[in-house]
Each structure stands twice: as C-alpha cells, then as structure tokens.
Structure 1
Amino acid sequence: MAGVEIDNVSKAYGSYRIIEGLDLSVADEEFVVLVGPSGCGKTTTLRMIAGLETVTSGTIRIGQRDVTDLRPGLRNCAMVFQNYALYPHMSVAENIGYGMKVRGESRAHVEKAVKEVARVLDLEPYLDRRPKQLSGGQRQRVAIGRAIVRSPDVFLFDEPLSNLDAKLRIEMRTEIKALHRRLAKTIVYVTHDQVEAMTMADRVVVMNKGRIEQAADPISLYERPCNLFVAGFIGAPSMNFIEGEVVARDGGLVFTEASGTALMLPKCREAVYGGHLGKPVVLGVRPDHIARQGAAAGATASMIVKDVEPLGPHTLVIGSVGRFPFTAQMPVGVAAEPDQRFDVPLDLDKAHLFDKATGRVIAA
C-alpha cells in the first residue's frame, strides 16, 4: 500500500507563507491531479512530497512511513519534470537505466529492465538515439521510462505535457492514463491546464492561494462546484456570472439584474433560494446550459453580441448581459451578428446560485 497523506502541512519562505495547513489524502493506486492558477502552491506541494522542498510544519506519509524529514532518495518516489531533465550526452537506454546504474545494480539487470520499459513505452526503436534526435513526445516517454524503471511507490508528475503541442498533449494524456491502469501505482500529477485535469484524474484537487478549494471526481467538480472560484476555474469556456438578487414575483422566485434581466428560478429550488430574498447573489450559467427546445417562460437572457466564433460542432456567441460578460454555446449556423441583440434560452435547472458575500454555492 502506497497512498500519500499530507497532514496539516505548511510551507513558508521567511514571513511569506506559500502553503497553510494543507490536508490531503491520496489513496493507494489513485490518480490525483492538483490544478490551479500559477502561484497557487500545487508544484510546491508536489515538491514537498518528493522531498525537494522542506516542510515548515506538518507531516507527510507515503504508505505507512513518515517521510517528512527523509531525503528524496529514501522516499521511493519517481518524479517526471516539465523539461524532461534528460542527459543530452547519453542514449535513450543510458538515460532510462542511469538511476539503476548509480545504485550499483548489475549490468544484466539494468539491460533487462530498460528493454522491458522500452517495450511498454514503444521506445525500442530509439534506444541508441540521443535526446536531440527525438520528438517532444518521445523525450517525455523517455523521462517517464526513467521513472518507471525504478519501480517507485508513487509517481509525481510536474506539468509534464506543457512543452508539447496540442496534438501530442492529447496523445500523451491517453498514454499516461493507460500506463496508470497497467502499473496500478499511485500518481500525483500537477498541471495548470484544467482540461488535462478533467480528462485524466480519478480525483481533481483545485488549489488557490495555498489552500484546497475543492477535491472531487471530475464530473462532480464540473456539475457541483462549491464556490465561485471553482465554478469559474473549471470548464472551458468559463462559467458566466451575473450579479443580482432574488425577489418574489408572480407566484415564484425571480433572479433580477440591475439592467433589467429577470429570470424565473426553478420551482424545485424555491425552499433554498427563498432564504436569500433581497440579498446580493451571483447567478452562474455555463455556456452549454442552453435550453435546446426553447426556453421556459422567463428563462431567456438578452445579450449584446460582441463576436461569433464558429468551432465546427458548435458556435460560441460572445457578448454581454447587462454589464456582465456572457458566452453562449449555440448550434452551428445560429443567426447571431456582432453589435446586435441576441436572446439566449437558458436551462436554469442546471444553473448555480452563489452567495456574493461568501462566494459559496447556495445548494438546493
């Protein structure tokens, strides 16, 4: 068993605290992705697990071992870096087997292990090549192979795909997921790309300013964000936010915005939303939460179009509702023109309402 336990861990540089009281449990064989904006503390957290950064306070365990004060080489973690960190003067085979060679393992054992890893990662034709003779995706596979050959308890990935082009990123995502299934090892993976996080993880941990905002499986995170930060960070394009208040009108509850937008809220949520009558709230609507068969009465937002982006399977209509930016994901060929008014039928059963003061979701 080789899960990871981070218990009340903090990290500070002098008086500047990067991480404050972080708690995270990663189960054995789980694939957990840490995601968040630059400076949120995700890479620092990964480096503390690896032992490349010291812990100011708190405890880190790998399996049953307290590794808080152990040097990196004793933690049995393997880290894959963003820049590959390959030795340019060594062949692919030498790069993969270097760690084993340094540990004094026999030449026969090293060669056997390198050949097996090369077979798994489809690197057999490239074993005699130098890194400069490889593509970006091949270099990344070599870096992963160097990690696999150590047979670690935990794999740590630090934004490994950020240097690849879009097509290669998709291919490598698939390869890393397949590798996880094959090896059945614990993986902690850091990225700033929320699409990577959503497509790869068993569980996504959204970080912000050194703390965890929410940790959940990708679908739960997308459909049930706990606050404004998570709602805005997860999803591409981002969730639309309109500030206003809830008022009672015409036998139901209506969300109103200063410019005149009025949207009838779902009857099934009146018991919860009714407790926020007259209070500042934020309505969150994802671009794809559009009523395809026409809107229910009162569920149409009128936007002023700024731009129209045809994307093949759908079209993005970009503009504003009142003073708030708004993007709608519409069918191909939608009749929308820049500088014109465009009515968007909304599916408010999928919308979210947030308390403006706290940023927390008002859950139904």
Structure 2
Amino acid sequence: MATPSDVSDASDVSHAVPAAALDPVTSAAPAVKPAGAEHGPDPEVPPIVRRRHVGRWVSAAAALLVFVMVLNSVIRNEAFQWDVVGRYFTTTAVLDGLLLTLWLTGAVMVLGFLLGTLLAVMRLSGNPVLRTLSWGYVWIFRSTPLLVQLLFWFNIGALYPTLGLGIPFGPELFSVKTVNLLGPTLTAVIGLTLHESAYAAEVVRGGILSVDSGQTEAAQALGLSRRRTLRRIVVPQAMRSIVPTAGNMLIGTLKGTSIVSVLAVHDLLYSVQLVYNQNYQVIPLLMVATLWYVAVTTVLSAGQYHVERYYARGTARDLPPTPLRRLRIQLAGLRARLRTVTAPGGR
C-alpha cells in the first residue's frame, strides 16, 4: 500500500521528466549524459575502423602497371611508324572507304531488322506454315558461314544467268542478266542483310517473349487490338531486352563489313589494302584502319548507352548516373576531402 510520501515523490518525478522524454519501451527516463558528451565520442562505444582492402589496391596497382608498360611499348615502338599513320589517317581514299563502311553498316542493320522483325512475327504466329518457314530460314542462315554466303551470292550468275518477272507458269514480262544486276556492293548488301536478319529475328523474338504475358492479357481485357497491343505495350517493354543485343549486333556488323573486301568492295579495309600494296607500309596502314574502327565503335557504344537509359525509364525510381555525372560526383567528393584536410584543425 502506497504512502502519501511515495505518491508525492512519484508526482514529482512525473513533473520533472516530460512524457515525451520517457523511453517508449521501458517508460523510464533516459540516462543523463555527462556534460560535454554531445561534443565528443562516447568512451563506451568502440571506434569504427574501416576495412583495408589491401588485395584490391595491390591488384589495381599491378593492372595499372601492366597497362602503362603496354601503352609505353606501343607508343615508343618505332615499327608502328606513327608519322605515317598520321599522314594517311585522313586521306581521301581512307575517308571514302570509311563512308562506304558506315553506309553499308547502316543499310544492313535497317534492312536486317525489318526482315528480322517480320521473321520474328512469323515465328510467333499461330500459322504452322509461317512458323516453319521462319524457323527454316533462321536455321539455314545461322548454320552457314558469312564468307560462304557472300561467295555464293557473288557467283549466283552461275546458277541463275537471268532473273525475270512474269506470271507463274505463264509468259515472262521482262528479264535481266544477273551479271549486270548484282555488282559487288549490291551483293555485299544482300548477303549481309540476309545473314543479319536471321540473328535479328531471334533478338526480336527473345525481346517479345521477355514481356510478361499478363501485360497482353490486361490489354485484351481493355479491348485493345492485337496490333495496338504489340505497338504500344509489348514493343516498348521488349526494347529493354532488344537494345543491348542490337547494339552488339551493330558493332559486330561494323567490323564484319571488312569481310566484303574479298569481293573487291571499296570499304575501309580494302581501301587501306590498296594503299599499302603500293607503298608497302603494311603496319601503319593497318593501324589507320584499326584506329578508325575503334573511333566509330566508341561513338556507337556511347549511343547504345543512352538508348538503353531511355528505354530503362520506369524500371527504377532513379536512373544510374552517366559516366560524366559519376566523374563529377567523385571530383566533388575529392574536393570536399581536400578542403577538410587543409582546413584549420582538420585531420
């Protein structure tokens, strides 16, 4: 039984300690910190020591050392003849070959993905004939080496000397000789397009299949047509899976166009070969072609990165920072540390 003195003591405590300051679990007043504890570390809490990644720093230093050694050997090696590389880097013959390579890459990618999209739709169709024909096309062109396909189309005149258009099993309206119709450049476009379309069909088909079937079912429940569902719902989501692989195909096609030099197409590599067959400067001219391929590939990779960011909207609350923005953040953090160290009383 509580005495009046106990009640008065409890009331004094409740008035001395506000209710908001009581611990929510124990309903007890928090321990009073000694004077000056707010401005210094708690002696009862052990200090936090950051983990030292010794192996990470050692491996980074070793990799950087190897990179510097390789770079030094390339720059200071007189056999590369960098003065000759600079002299032929922007010559008319090299730039004309570069333009043809870029045009060939763009034409092949556009035509290849148009045909590949059609083949992917056929492959996903409920029609067994269209599905089988699409599968057979992809099987044939993925099973044959690209060089064999190009040589086959280059010698198509041996099989079909003339090509004509007319009524089936009826009169022929007109015909043209294959030799006059298919030149080296057109043969390269046809061969590369048919080859790339087989891979593009699988890329598009994989992207469409990556979209959850519930998206299509929801669109059908809203009364959207099949074409509108494909265009407004399925394709935008499928592009997240299509764009990375398509970017790799674009870069592969850019480098793969060098194989058309066997058909005497004046692309970048063939133009360089014509030059070093005259002056016998093989290594410097090959370095010219290499540097142009590296430069164009770098530009295409940067474009692929930004296209991927565009189609990645909605998958996360915030997009990852670009390399330039990441560099700015790191520089800002470095400047903040330097100010902290150089400030009076800084450690």
Which bracket does the TM-score occupy, shorter chain normalised? Answer: under 0.3
Instruction: State the structure with bigger RCO (CA 8 A, min sep 6), 1 or 2.
Output: 2
Between Structure 1 and Structure 2, whose CA radius of gyration is higher? 2
> Which protein is richer in strand relative to its size?
1
More helix by share: 2
